[in-house]
Amino acid sequence: MPMRGPRVANAVLFLLMIVPLGWRRRAPLSVLAIVMGSTVVGFYALYDLASQVHPDPFLPFLIAIYSVAAHADRRRATIGGVLAAAAILAIDAPAMLAGAIPPNDVYGWFLYALAWILGRMLRRRQELAAALQDRAARLELDQ
């Protein structure tokens, strides 16, 4: 199906979904906001959900959600999780109402939540390993 809107606008939105992922470790919350925001704006500005298939941002979303959970502190990771849930709901709710997505098809939501949980688990494990390494270094110094 042909895309609605100018090709340049589509290309810019696609790049805004993918290029920021390169900075996901340095600024995970900003990257998540850009990826999610550009996708939501793109869906509402460029696509007619009732008659047009949109590009699936599944992989960029997974990477951005995992990255904010794994590389941000607890407060920012929670903000990122709420932001991601709001963006996903803003995209999926109209698609469900238009009949493009069946209401019981929530596997993607489960995978997004799983990516966030795994990212937080990795973050906690890294913090514990750093604390244990620091403790071992102090004990070695005391001896």
**Span 107-116, pLDDT tens digits:** 888 899 999 9
In whole angstroms, what is the distance from residue 27 CA to residue 141 CA?
35
In whole angstroms, what is the distance from residue 42 CA to residue 11 CA?
10
Q: Which two tokens stand for residue 127?
A: 């913090």
Q: Which two tokens stand for residue 52?
A: 């047009």
Q: What percent of the chain lies above the pLDDT cut of 90?
A: 49
> Which residues contact residue 8 at a Cβ distance below 8 angstroms, ignoring those fewer than 6 apart?
none
How does the average pLDDT of the chain come out, rounded? Answer: 84
Q: What is the pLDDT of residues 52-71, one digit of tens each?
A: 555 667 888 899 999 999 99
Query: How is 26-82 classified by DSSP, letter by letter?
Result: TSHHHHHHHHHHHHHHHHHHH--TTT-PPP--HHHHHHHHHHHHHHS-HHHHHHHHH
Where are the chain's structural domains? 7-142
24 contacts 64 by C-beta, under 8 angstroms: yes
pLDDT in the model for residue 82: 94
92 contacts 45 by C-beta, under 8 angstroms: no
Question: Which residue is it, tokens 């509402």?
Answer: 44
Q: Which two tokens stand for residue 120?
A: 């937080």
Q: How confident is the model at residue 49 (pLDDT cuts 50, 70, 90)?
A: low
